[in-house]
Amino acid sequence: MLFPLLLLLGAGKNLAGRYTGEWKSNGAAGSGSIHISLEPRSDAKWKCDVSFNVGGDDVKTTIRTCKVDESKLEASYDFELQGTALRSKITGQWNGKAFEGTYATTTVDGGEAVDDGTWNAAPTAGQ
């Protein structure tokens, strides 16, 4: 009985690593690559890094929140695109091989909806 409990408690730690995949807009924003890095910290929180590609340009982000809970990932991050400050929130579920989820992007100052869509990311080769 203790073994299954230990597996559940340690499930999030197995998600540490680097992931690469694709995001796809439900609107006209297109699609591109996404890169996610997850690293557990000693305070039981997680360090996340997210970057993605739009129209051939790499976009760096500033992480606002990051939560890994068993097989779920939630993160929010700010970035600038064409002079506009934006914030995206991603949620994803680990399916045993990759993360699959959704995102929603708003303006930072007004919270106005800008885009939404889906994303997926699998462990980066060589991990």
Portion of the chain with pLDDT greater than 90, in percent: 77
Radius of gyration of the chain (CA): 15
**CB burial of residue 38 (10 Å; 0-12, 13-18, 19+):** buried
Range of the domain at 80: 2-123
Pair 107, 85: CB distance under 8 Å: yes
Phi-psi category of residue 103: left, alpha or beta, with phi > 0 → left and psi -120 to 50 → alpha: beta
The CATH number covering residue 56 comes to: 2.40.128.120
Q: Domain count for the chain, please give it.
A: 1
pTM: 0.86
| Closest C-alpha to 87, from 70, 69, 71, 65 | 65
- Model confidence over 38-83: pLDDT tens digits? 999 988 899 999 999 998 999 999 999 999 998 999 999 999 998 9
Alpha-helical (H) ranges within 36-111 are: none
Strand positions, DSSP E, the chain = 17-25, 31-40, 46-54, 57-60, 62-69, 72-81, 84-94, 99-107, 113-123
Residues 96-107, mean pLDDT to the nearest whole number:
97
Which DSSP symbol is given to 70? Answer: T
What pLDDT does residue 127 have? 59
